Amino acid sequence: MTTDQLSPTARHELVVGLDGLHVDVLVVGGGVTGTGAALDAAARGLGVLLVERRDLAAGTSSRSSKLIHGGLRYLEQWNISLVREALHERGQLTRSICPHLVQPLSFLYPLTHRVWERPYVGAGVALYDGLAALGDDALPRHRHLSRKGALQEFPGLRADALVGAVQYWDAQVDDARHTMMVMRTAAARGARLLTNGEVVEFTGLESGRVTGAVVLDRESGRRSTVTADVVVNATGVWGERTEQLAGRPGLEMRASKGIHLVVPRDRIEGSGGVITKTRTSVLFIIPFGDHWLLGTTDTDWTESLEHPAANSADVRYVLDQANAILATPLGPDDITGVYSGLRPLIAGNEAETAELSREHATARPLPGLVSIAGGKYTTYRVMAADAIDAAVDERRALGRSPVGPSITSELPLHGADGYDEALADVQGWSDRLGVSTTQVRRLLGRYGSGISEIGDLIAEEPDWVRTLDGGAPYLEAEVVLAARAEGARHVEDVLTRRTRLSFECADRGVQASSRVADLVGEQLGWDAGRRDLEVATYTERVAAERAAEQTADDAAAMRARLVARDIRALLTAP
């Protein structure tokens, strides 16, 4: 694969030639479902354009629990079909689609009752393993542990908080990185991408069929009309808003807020993860690089979809739930970062969002328009295939030539081919790059065989082997690659999604922002004023997030977040 499909040059050429462009499928939304739909369509030989208002994975797809899992708790709701589907996808992702990005992870489920709980939980986990085995899943099977055995696995748990445990396996992913890799794979098959682009109007409504859209390039202010056989609405929690452009309701959405706290790895002693039920959701304690992720909440969000914010009550709730089972309590000073996201749930009659189904659905509000909503991150590929199946049906009504079924279950993502060989040559890559073997393993987990792209950049400019300020291990070459080949257009894109400095560093990436602006600016042609604006805007965003975390409710937290300027809005031409 070449590295120029998501380059600044490719974007410029797309914008210049956008007006009058015709594609088979126009995908709206650059989260994991939208990028998955773009890949599915492109892999079937269809012409694809994806338009994303902000950045790849800028919404929900960068703010999950970072898990690829079947959803053990959904078995308790007897949603066996959803769990089986998710476990099948887990197996394919870990085994062949992207083994470099999705890694197995063990979990402890602490038991607190001596008599009935072990057989009850054990039966559920045994069913979980059995459903996974139906999909030829290769992860280890569960095992029962005594209290002593559980504490040996995870010494950081309170001895009086459990009487034993069941250990089982799921998998982990950096969600934003995975979404970007899905898009790179789609681009390699011909799909085109416009981030910082907004669909502001659907065309053809007077004929009773959506025939395309008016697209605003938010960087230049240029408006272009794109025609398409089918438009796929994959905008998640913004799905209803997108459907309003067609004047027809489709799927009714309900946003559920989930927050996560990030604490340094040395604050909790343990290996693998921990999961336990809470009053309103579940508590995950998940290792993530040099940190732990603690979450999550599951509450209605009725404020602006643009600015989901964690408030002080959210932070305290997660801390309280964690401290109920941890031997060494955590406090606010232990928190390195906080992030919050919105689950795009299909509305139902349940009072609590935690009880709403995580299954997905497609709708066709108007001929030529397909909406896909709901679902779990783990099942993104199935959602995407269903959306494109519906799009193919819509094209059939236009008399278009038929296309084959989805092939993405057998399609490796960028970096998967050659990953095993690269993993077997860690020392060789260490010698070639001039970095430690620990650094090589980290790079392989982000790029797979694409580590060669990092090597090419270091060969071009040896100084790019330096790490960024702030304590995280990211190389300057990774920032350059983000701007050259991964579609990053802003400092925020790099610090929050191409890397995770925004929550992995105590200062949330502020210290590194100046150097990141220099590196990105060199690739995108920024002048000094633009670099300063990018740094100032990112710094404001961090300050606004911190202020939101000190407020008491969602509305106040949202208002605190709104004080941060939106760099994309600032730079949109009049």
Collapse the DSSP code of 63 into the 3-class scheme (helix H, G, I; strand E, B; otherwise coil) and give the result: coil
The distance of Cα 307 from the centroid of its chain, to the nearest Å, equals 17
CA distance 355 to 480: 43
Model pTM score: 0.96
- Per-10-residue mean pLDDT for the chain, 574 residues long? 77 97 98 98 98 97 96 86 94 96 97 95 95 84 97 98 97 98 98 98 97 97 97 95 87 90 98 90 94 94 90 96 98 96 75 52 93 94 97 96 96 98 98 98 98 98 96 94 98 98 96 98 97 97 95 91 85 64
CB 175 within 8 A of CB 377: yes
Phi, psi of 28 (to 5 degrees): -110, 115
How much is the CA Rg of the chain, to the nearest whole Å?
A: 23
CB 163 within 8 A of CB 111: yes
Question: Could you tell me the end-to-end alpha-carbon distance of the chain, in angstroms, rounded to an integer?
Answer: 38
Which pLDDT score is estimated for 351? 41
User: Which ranges constitute the DSSP H helices of 230-330?
Assistant: 239-244, 312-323
Which pLDDT score is estimated for 573? 55
Q: Other C-beta atoms within 10 Å of 198: how many?
A: 20
Which pLDDT score is estimated for 4? 79
Closest Cα to residue 192, out of 219, 173, 210, 215?
Answer: 215
CB 474 within 8 A of CB 290: no
Domains annotated for the chain, with CATH where assigned, are 21-61+176-252+357-410 (3.50.50.60), 102-172+254-348 (3.30.9.10), 419-571 (1.10.8)
Which pLDDT score is estimated for 359? 79
Closest Cα to residue 294, out of 302, 286, 303?
Answer: 286
Which pLDDT score is estimated for 547? 95
Half-sphere exposure of 555 (CA within 13 A, CB side): 0
Q: Other C-beta atoms within 10 Å of 374: how many?
A: 24
